[in-house]
Amino acid sequence: MESRIERLCVENGLKMTGPRRAIARILSEVDGHPDVDELHRLAHTLDPRISLATVYRTVRLFEQHGILERRSLGSRRARYEMSGEHDHFHLIDQESGKVIEFDEPETETLMRRVAARHGFDLISLKIELFGRKLRSESPPDRSDDARQTVEPAGEPR
């Protein structure tokens, strides 16, 4: 069955080679925000002929066609996620590297008003919050859509 990324590639007129198809499937199935090295490791298990250079070229191509978005998430390495998903935000724990994806409709509404006040139509919204977990009892997660992944912690800011 064709993944969403494979479908977007075809819609964008990209030729779906074996390596591109493998990388597209991995990106569609992987949890979190993989970097190129992680994608290469996963792709290599599917097809040992897929080189790191092929992964870099494929990711760049997918990004240029608006299929993937590059994220830093507090890391020196670029990380990737599928484009076109609803706007969401990232809360990154600087100590553990845990990334919590969450929706906050009030923030999106506020940012749209700010953009409009300055004469802009908001096209996309990217917010990354960096912090450290409080040592006391933390408040419960109020977001029904919060998704957590653990990724290597980045350099402290």
Residue spans of the domains in the chain: they are 4-82, 89-150
Q: Hey, what CATH topology would domain 89-150 get?
A: Dna Ligase; domain 1 (3.30.1490)
CATH annotation of 4-82:
1.10.10.10
Q: Which residues are annotated as a binding site?
A: 108
Instruction: Kindly tell me if the per-residue pLDDT of 139 is higher than 70.
Output: no
pLDDT for the residue numbered 130: 80
pLDDT in tens, 51-104: 999 999 999 998 888 888 777 655 666 766 766 666 667 777 878 777 777 777
Instruction: Map residue 10 onto helix, strand or coil.
Output: helix
Q: Which residues are annotated as a binding site for Fe cation?
A: 108
CA 128 to the chain's CA centroid: 11
Exposed/middle/buried for residue 83 (C-beta within 10 Å: 0-12, 13-18, 19+): middle
d(CA 24, CA 30): 10
The candidate with the shortest Cα–Cα distance to 82, out of 47, 32, 20, is 32
With contact defined as beta carbons under 8 Å apart, do 82 and 67 qualify?
A: yes
